[in-house]
Amino acid sequence: MASITFRGTPIHTVGNLPAKGSKCPDFKLTADDLSDVTLEQFAGKKKIISIVPSLDTGVCQVSARRFNAEVGKHTDTVLLNISADLPFAQKRFCDSEKLGHITNLSTMRSPNFGTTFGVRIEDGPLAGLMSRAVLVLSADNTIVYTQQVPEIGQEPDYDTALAALAKA
């Protein structure tokens, strides 16, 4: 269980992020066209997995914009932005912001994702949502970087994640 904070108050996740050096667990999530999407569909590409509580919050929006801009510089990389938001809301945000390098994925039909990845918040006002976390995967889905952001209202460490991506 990860111990993180929300506005300075301790909250906890159901577990811990998958370990650096391990293979990323597969998943089946929902895309904005309501299709099922699996990790395997991005075979051969490096991946940034940005897990956020909700794209309806400012920090999640800033993070989406920043990672979108960075991934746009890499033809061999995809950005998977994962939240519990409905696919319609995810699409509406990205369309309004003209964020063309994001693949939004919703956990709406896959509540086990948060448990498998150790990011489902167990207690506090955000219980049931996911914590803010970043994983960087090599093209063969080996996890080369993880960050469980310690405070929900804090942005991830973009520079370290992008440095890991460059080495993947």
Residue whose C-alpha is closest to residue 138's, from 103, 108, 166, 110: 166
Cβ pair 73, 37 in contact under 8 A = no
Say whether 24 is catalytic.
no
Which of 60, 64, 71, 121 is catalytic? The answer is: 60
CA distance 47 to 6: 27
Q: Contact at 8 Å (CB) between 102 and 93?
A: no
Angstrom distance (rounded) from CA 154 to CA 43: 31
Q: At what angle do helices 158-167 and 58-71 cross, to 10 degrees?
A: 30
Of 75, 71, 56, 60, nearest to 102 by C-alpha is: 71
Q: Which residues are catalytic?
A: 60
